[in-house]
Structure 1
Amino acid sequence: MPFDLGATVRLTAECRDPGGALTTAATAAVTVTLPDGTAVLPTATEDPGTAGRYLADYVTTLPGRHSVRWVWTGPAAAYTDVFDVQEAAPAAILSLADARKHLNLRDTKDDDEVRFWNNATTRAVEHFTGPIVPRTIVEDHRFNVAQELVLLHTPVLEVTAIAPLRSGGTAPAVDGLVLDPGAGLIIRADGGPLRGPLRFTYRAGRTVISDNITAGARIILEHLWRTQRAGRRGALAGGGEDYSVTEPIPGIGYAVPNRALQLLEPDRLPPGVA
């Protein structure tokens, strides 16, 4: 499961000799490569309670995929792993408390797993509706002259910055634009043309999430939660109604129940719109 940004990750690995036995190495080193390509070397120590088991603590500083490389000498051994760090404010339609309540979970022992599937649920909903949770998007539009321009992710809350992509180019002032938030359509207030190429920074999403979207998210979350736990208990966890999909949905297969899609229908994007 992803770690929170700023959390300490306990890295573990085992040094084994050519015969497969745990063994204390002459030296041990661990390298963590961050998403931006930089590398850090946390201090590696042997677990006092288990010979050959090594530990290192790393405090996360960047969101994204991290790779971990352990190397030992005496004996020569190596081990590679990865871990993920989520953004400081991950996008989720449902709060953790709401998700836990909907799944009828009375304690917090499964919170990491619930958060994972809750985030996956949000991505599934936004596949159909576009951005729900507000976020900043940076988008390049390569054109020469246009009377209007359409931003790719809607609904648009606000355009915060515009910059030219061509050296010596100019960009219109943000307050000189007229925006259609639902369509993402931009024109100049004075009726003049837009001259590109331009880089737009804007916020997309919704400040109010309607009940049908929240209900759709709850159904998808329960479907993913129940089906992925079914093998542990030999049936759908919790019993009750099966939220299975009778036919695959184009673009997303069997991950989304049809009843959830019906709830999202009023807010579905037109075909071909992101």
Structure 2
Amino acid sequence: MPYDLGATVRLTAECQDPGGTLTSADTATLTVTLPGGATATPVAAETGPGTYQADYVSSVPGRHTVRWIFTGPADAYTDSFDVRPLAPPTILSLADAKRHLKLPLVRSDRDDEIGGWTESITRGIEGLCGPVVVRTVEERHDVRQAGAIVLRHVPALEIISVIPLRPAGPCYAVDDLDLDPDTGVVRRLGGGTLTGLLLCIYTAGRPIISANITAAARIIIQHLWRTTQGPGRPQLGTGDFDVSEPIPGFGYAIPNRALQLLEPDRLPPGMA
């Protein structure tokens, strides 16, 4: 499960001899490779015969690789863990999700699991409706004398900057551009064309998340939570938490009632 940025990650491993028996090693070396390629070497301590532990304080979001090397006997173990961004976009807060699931609000060992669900639900809803949580987007557009640029993420709220990436490329002041939030179309107010390899930086999402989207997110997390509490996959049918058919890209993760609530905000085919 992903860890929050800045959290302490407890890393464990076992050293076994060729016969599979736990054995104290002469040396135990732990290397953590960060997403950018830098490495850290937390000090490992033996907690029992052949069992080792080290604590690593996360400082960079992304996938980390863990490599244990033992000598005397020779053994090795590789693993990985993920660290969330500082503020991952989620429609539901952890507290909101726990209230809806009728779980205690005190910190527990299920928080990472529930946090992972809230991130997954947000991705699923945004895959159908476009950005919901407001965030800054950067994207490149290679334009050749076009009357407009179409931003890829809508609703698009505000253009922050349009930066030419080719030497001597034309510059466009934000105040001279018009943005249609619903379509993402950007045009020059005075007319004329846009050209060049441009880096468009803008904000996208919904400043106020409508009640139907929040309600759909609550239904989905309850639906997914139910699947972890007993055997079997979500049932097909017509009930509130049933799925009549899988959604392309999301399988059986989004039940009927949530889809009905999301319908007013779903993007047209081809835009999702």
On whether the aligned pair clears a TM of 0.5, the verdict is: yes
Q: Distance in 2 between matches of 1:84 and 1:266?
A: 35
Q: Distance in 2 between matches of 1:11 and 1:142?
A: 45
What's the counterpart of residue 25 of structure 2? Answer: 25
Q: How does 1:48-197 map to 2 (within 5 A)?
A: 50-108=48-106, 109=108, 110-197=110-197
State the SS of the aligned residue for 1:226.
helix
Shift in Å, 1:242: 5.9
Q: Distance in 2 between matches of 1:133 and 1:273?
A: 18
State the SS of the aligned residue for 1:143.
strand
| Deviations, residues 182-212 of structure 1 (Å, cap 9, x unaligned) | 1111011111211121011111111101011
Amino acid at match of 1:52: G
Shift in Å, 1:134: 1.0
The two structures, once aligned, show a CA RMSD in angstroms of 1.7
Whether the 8 Å CA contact 2:240–2:257 is kept in 1: the answer is no
For the pair 1:11 / 2:11, whether they are aligned, the reply is yes
Q: Distance in 2 between matches of 1:58 and 1:163?
A: 39
Amino acid at match of 1:51: P
What's the counterpart of residue 261 of structure 1? Answer: 259
What's the counterpart of residue 35 of structure 2? Answer: 35
Shift in Å, 1:143: 2.0
Shift in Å, 1:27: 0.9
Q: Distance in 2 between matches of 1:220 and 1:93?
A: 12
Q: Which runs of 4+ in 1 moved over 3 A?
A: none
Q: Distance in 2 between matches of 1:123 and 1:217?
A: 11
Whether the 8 Å CA contact 1:171–1:198 is kept in 2: the answer is no
Aligned identity (percent) is 58
Of 244-253 and 188-197, more deviation after overlay is shown by 244-253
Shift in Å, 1:127: 1.0
Q: Distance in 2 between matches of 1:40 and 1:26?
A: 21
* Structure 2 unaligned regions, length at least 5: none
Shift in Å, 1:107: 4.8
Paired residue total: 266
Whether the 8 Å CA contact 1:171–1:195 is kept in 2: the answer is no
Amino acid at match of 2:176: G
